[in-house]
Amino acid sequence: MALWRRSSSWLTSCSRAPAGIVGGNEAKVSPEVAPEDAPDRRQEEEGEADEERWSRLLPELLTDIVRRVDAGAERWPPRRDVVACACVCRRWRDAAVSVVRPPLECGRITFPSSLKQPGPRDAPMHCFIRRNKSTSTFYLYLSLTQALTDKGKFLLSARRFRHGAHTEYIISYDSDDLYPGSNSGVGKLRSDFLGTKFIMYDNQKPYDGAKSLKSRSSRRFATKQISPNDSGSNLEVGQVSYRFNFLKSRGPRRMHCSIQCPVDQGSASDPSKETPQSTSSSLSLKNKAPRWHDHLQCWCLNFHGRVTVASVKNFQLVAPAGTSDPWGVGDEETVILQFGKIEDDAFTMDFRYPLSAYQAFAICLTSFGTKLACE
């Protein structure tokens, strides 16, 4: 069979020979046809050569280049140039990580890892959430202007699933891949039957001291679906609970949050040195009590123009006064997180230190859905 195939190929090649060449071609050697993947292989080799060329830059020159790019890109979309530098090769990525400061210090979100780092201390970071009721999906965007909504920079997405008597929100880095078991998953949010208590999970250990759950109930709710790379446990990073209102007394929802936030043990003055690891502590938050407006006949809060539509979902979270916390936010005046409605399916979300964008987004997700026992 092999001889027949070779003879058949040879006959085909002879039939395509130009006119004037007849017989006696048995001794001629035909050039070997390059495989189909040769262009791709050549491109890979050229890419490796380019990567090696870029990686041979002097460390001082490389750091200076990345620092100049970082200084010239204050906001998105120009900030994508910083991400492009980190994608050149490993040395460029290490240089970018050492140059770009976390949101707490620079007030900007650059890399996906920034979504799990504490926000700025001096001023809140302005974001907004868009909801799609038909698909039960939610999308978090970073505001690019002073307007309440704009094109925005996509940060996170979530989708609501019903698992028996419980509701779960799968949170992802990808706006389309919103299914259990996704490699782009960040974590999840799980509620009880009444929708009054929520537990926040992370698919990676964010800091030393994160609480790992290995109970039977945590394994029952698809541990592998949350973190394909961590089959040992779920990592609980917070709880949100709403107080029951069986007597139907007048007033808005009352909520309480207990969030695990990192406590810095100091910071490295030299970016080239390793930053000390952080431990965690529980941050207690409660919703700021609104006041009753006799003229408008409604409960009011000062959202400083960031909320325009009255809704039971609107809230502001503050740290209770008198609590000794290592973050210095327990004064009941500093709003750590505020969430409010501006359109039918659009909501603003403003957060600050010590919450991260991921934690703030998960807390705001608990406000969606009907809570008959709390209203």
* 110-123 confidence digits (pLDDT tens): 999 999 999 998 89
Average pLDDT over the chain, rounded to an integer: 77
Q: What is the pLDDT of residue 215?
A: 41
pLDDT of 23 over the 70 cut: no
pLDDT of 229 over the 50 cut: no
pLDDT confidence band for 193 (50 / 70 / 90): confident
**Backbone CA torsion sign across 100, 101, 106, 111:** positive
pTM (two decimals): 0.76
Q: What is the pLDDT of residue 345?
A: 93
Give the integer Cα–Cα distance in Å for 124 and 129.
16
Average pLDDT over residues 297-324: 85
pLDDT of 53 over the 80 cut: no
Residues with Cβ within 8 Å of 173's Cβ and at least 6 positions away in sequence, in order, are 112, 115, 156, 157, 184, 185, 186
Give the integer Cα–Cα distance in Å for 68 and 342.
38
Q: What is the pLDDT of residues 180-189, one digit of tens each?
A: 777 778 899 9
DSSP letter string, 254-306: -EEEEEEEEE-----SSTTSPPPP-EEEEEEEEEPPPEEETTTTEEE---TTS
> What's phi and psi for 156, nearest 5 deg?
-145, 165
- Indicate the range of 16-20, 178-182, 288-292 predicted with least confidence: 16-20
Q: What is the pLDDT of residue 262?
A: 83
User: Which residues sit opposite 185 in a β-bridge?
Assistant: 172
